[in-house]
Structure 1
């Protein structure tokens, strides 16, 4: 049983600076983009740093103007792969984007804006039915359009497991939602990512700086549970 409270979490993330502009998924949605364009931006961050993904997003934006299913499909595969090359696995990523754009064009008339009118569970299922979209990607999109989801990235997963939270993605997401209020989700999601980058790092975590270390299984066990 993890005896963590909302106040504990807010105290921990108060140690880090949260700059929304450094998170591509958050940044694009604050600029009023379509759900499709926002989804593409979030997909670019999969297994990639926000810094590199942002560069690729800007290159795509400069080349296409508006990122839509049709504009992506207007590119040759070779050109799309070239634009995606900096983020690695560019051939697989190009394949996913082409499949995504094709499905959205043929099945949904080129737009995903109807998702804004769905309830959260239905919207999540719809997003996860799309090529290349898993639970984290869907949750990031939904959180950024004001839905009460809590995305779990590798940093949040590591922090959670060190604290003693048991289970996979859905279990960890549920844990954080159970101790927070929906109004906290966005700030805490971003804050925990920064906390994982700066303090609860994968290697050589700064446990001495952590205000919740006494509630952390990793710290109490001398760093012997999984990273």
Structure 2
């Protein structure tokens, strides 16, 4: 494990600017959408950049207005697929959204608003029981509802592993939950993503600009980065 401290993280994240508008999940929840609409928006970001997902979300919303289970089900499959086309695997995603809308209608009467009042564990379990919803998607929704969770995307996983925080999703998430304060989870989550995009990049990371390099296993073990 790493000897990373909370202060180390705060110092590193001071180097990047977080524009909440660039994170679709965060942006939609800032606009007081329903839990269902927020969930759909977050699902659009799966394996897709926020920029592309935002464009598709706006196309979907422009076509049906409020994103509800019934509004999705009232679209023909062909029309839904066409809206989702800019996203990879758009046919599979269309099937997933149709299945999600059907399940939410049949199981919960078309609304997921009750999740706001559930405890974190039950809310997470409920979301993950829905079609197409895994741990990260559930956690992004819950974090934006004010629950004490820490979503881990590809950027955060890469940063974590480079720092020596090893393991899968749950273990990495637990590390950040323990290290940071609950009221910091949201901005640290967004900050780490921004840090991964700007500095701790997948290719050609800017290690010389990183204040965490002396605690970074990736940097310390790579002599070419230290030259």
Per-residue Cα deviation, 1:22-55 (whole angstroms, up to 9, x for no partner): 1000000000000000000000000000000000
1:185 is matched with which residue? 185
Q: What SS class does the counterpart of residue 86 from structure 1 fall into?
A: coil
Q: Distance in 2 between matches of 1:37 and 1:157?
A: 26
1:220 is matched with which residue? 220
CA RMSD of aligned residues (A): 0.9
Change (3 A) 1:181 1:113: same
Q: TM-score, normalised by structure 1?
A: 0.98
2:206 is matched with which residue? 206
1:76 is matched with which residue? 76
Structure 2 gaps of 5+ residues are none
Give 4+ residue runs of structure 1 displaced > 6 Å after superposition.
Answer: none
Is residue 6 of structure 2 the alignment partner of residue 6 of structure 1? yes
**In the TM superposition, what is the alpha-carbon distance from 1:128 to its structure 2 partner?**
0.2
Is residue 40 of structure 2 the alignment partner of residue 40 of structure 1? yes
1:144 is matched with which residue? 144
**In the TM superposition, what is the alpha-carbon distance from 1:223 to its structure 2 partner?**
7.0
Q: How many residues end up aligned between the 2 structures?
A: 224
Structure 1 gaps of 5+ residues are none
Q: TM-score, normalised by structure 2?
A: 0.98
Per-residue Cα deviation, 1:87-140 (whole angstroms, up to 9, x for no partner): 110000001000000000000000000111110000000000000000000000
**In the TM superposition, what is the alpha-carbon distance from 1:166 to its structure 2 partner?**
1.3
Q: Distance in 1 between matches of 2:177 and 2:6?
A: 10
Is residue 119 of structure 2 the alignment partner of residue 119 of structure 1? yes
Per-residue Cα deviation, 1:149-182 (whole angstroms, up to 9, x for no partner): 1000000000000000111000000000111000
